[in-house]
Amino acid sequence: MWKKSLLIILLFVTLIAGCSKQENETSNKSEDNIEQNSKVETDDNHNSGESNESEESKKVQKVAKEDQVTLDEIEPIPTDVEGLANQLPGIFAGVNSLFDLEQEIKEQMDVLGPMSEEPTDEEYEKYLRYIYYLVAEDYPDPENVIKKWEFASFGDPDLPGSKFSFKENYNVEIILDSSGSMANPTGNGSRMNVAKKSINEFLSEVPEEANVSLRVYGHKGTGADSDKEMSCNAIEQVYGFNTYNEGKFQEALNQFKPMGWTPLADALKESQEALSQFDSEKNTNLIYVVSDGIETCDGDPVAVAKELSESSAQPIINIIGFQTDAEAQKQLEKMAEVSGGIFASASNEEELQEEFNRAEEVLDAWKDWKNDAMRDLDAKRVNSSFDIMGLHNDWSFTTMKISNRMNNMVDISRNLEIFTHSQRKELKRRIKPIIDEIDTTVDQLEKDLEELRDKNLQEAKEIVEEKYKSQTSEE
């Protein structure tokens, strides 16, 4: 995994922060004319009221320079599925235009300095690796597609683990980050207002029989050190567990604002205590965590998430990272991983709503199960085909963005006299086979997922046929 490379690079580089994802990129200097959404890092502890920085130059944090960087200190560029899926965004990921960041790029390229007059293959490789990790983008995790197929098979008694089988009752809890950074503006309002709107729309669609709950944390005090204890103890279930009532739920949403710190681990602990009354034998329990930042109250949310998923309630914990930086994303991804849930990253209002729309699919599946336990396997094949196509498109587009930005970085570095004209030409020639290899991996990933999908569907059809035969023979 390329994460190891960052640890190595820290011998000569101090990585302060990473930029967020964006939606669009072009391969030349006109890329800054395309509308894109990009994020700005926030300090979850101390910048509760700060607005997002508007200048592109402030999206990129400085990296300290040290001499004598060797090829061995920079991890090879990943070209396999595991390496690509595990790489995190580089510090120039998600910016609108690299051509607006010439000074910042100069500061980063000065870490290596100008290329020698007669560079060796090793020197070319060193510069290519370094440039790659500066512009690396986050590839969606293919495991999430497979997990989604598991969730869509709710009710199948042959699935491993009782948490994936539908029960008589259904309980949904939203755990919402109300720390100070959620006050930062995004789109048509603050992150908090956007989250509240999406949550309200999501819960309004749950089945009438389902119990819903809303738990918030960090909604008291400020981001100041003097308020840390009060803010870290600010965890409150403001609604439920009750059936959804629009008026009462709206009243609950209106009673808190984003204020202070992020006690994510303790919020999960309180959720575990509340869910203890809903054992998994008779209840299907689902938790959605919406957060934009990392734990700041000295807790261990990864350990608590694992413990919660293994409790008597056996909830499925799905996590939505809303405009998170790289550090927060790593922690939230790990929480989903250890609890068997899905991590999804949302960089704007549309993506956040899309994730909640996917959650509604699970609720709809539960309603269908209560009415008719049989599943339309052919429809599942069609739906899974769209899942695979969507992942393939996302990976292809991410690869294209990385390719464009690597070439842009070489062009800009030539202007900065890091490379000569001939070196620029040679670097671009060497970029192409790297991107071609990644594209081949992306195509193979699509084929592998299709084979897995077909295998699982065939096994499911055989199970249904066997059950049908046994039932008719008994009659």
Complete DSSP assignment for 14-62: ---------S---SSGGGGGS---------TTT-TTPPPP-SGGGGS--
pLDDT at 72: 87
**Which of 43-52, 66-75, 253-262, 342-351 is predicted least confidently?**
43-52
Q: Please give the single-letter amino acid code of residue 319.
A: I
pLDDT at 261: 94
Backbone angles phi, psi at 321, to 5 degrees: -90, 115
Mean pLDDT of the chain: 77
Question: Could you give the C-alpha distances from 88 to 3, 70, 84, 324, in angstroms and in order?
Answer: 7, 22, 9, 12
Q: Flag whether pLDDT at 65 surpasses 80.
A: no
**Which of 97-106, 214-223, 269-278, 351-360 is predicted least confidently?**
351-360
Predicted structure pTM score: 0.54
Q: Please give the single-letter amino acid code of residue 24.
A: N
Structure tokens that stand for 39 in this block: 């994020």
Residue from 30, 6, 88, 78 nearest 435 by CA: 78
Structure tokens that stand for 26 in this block: 């072009």
Q: How far apart are CA 377 and CA 385, in angstroms?
A: 12
Percent of the chain with pLDDT over 70: 72
CB count in 10 Å sphere of residue 434: 18
The β-bridge partners of 284 are 170
pLDDT at 68: 64
Q: What is the DSSP letter of 94?
A: T
First-to-final CA distance of the chain: 56
Largest CA distance in the chain: 85
Structure confidence at residue 95 as a pLDDT band (50, 70, 90): confident
* Each residue's pLDDT tens digit, 390-446: 889 999 999 999 999 999 999 999 999 999 999 999 999 999 999 999 999 999 999
**How confident is the model over 310-339, as a mean pLDDT?**
88
What are 46-53's contacts with CB under 8 Å, separation 24+?
46/223, 46/224, 47/180, 47/181, 47/223, 48/179, 48/180, 48/181, 48/183, 48/222, 48/223, 48/258, 48/259, 48/260, 49/180, 49/183, 50/184, 51/184, 51/185, 52/184, 52/185, 52/186
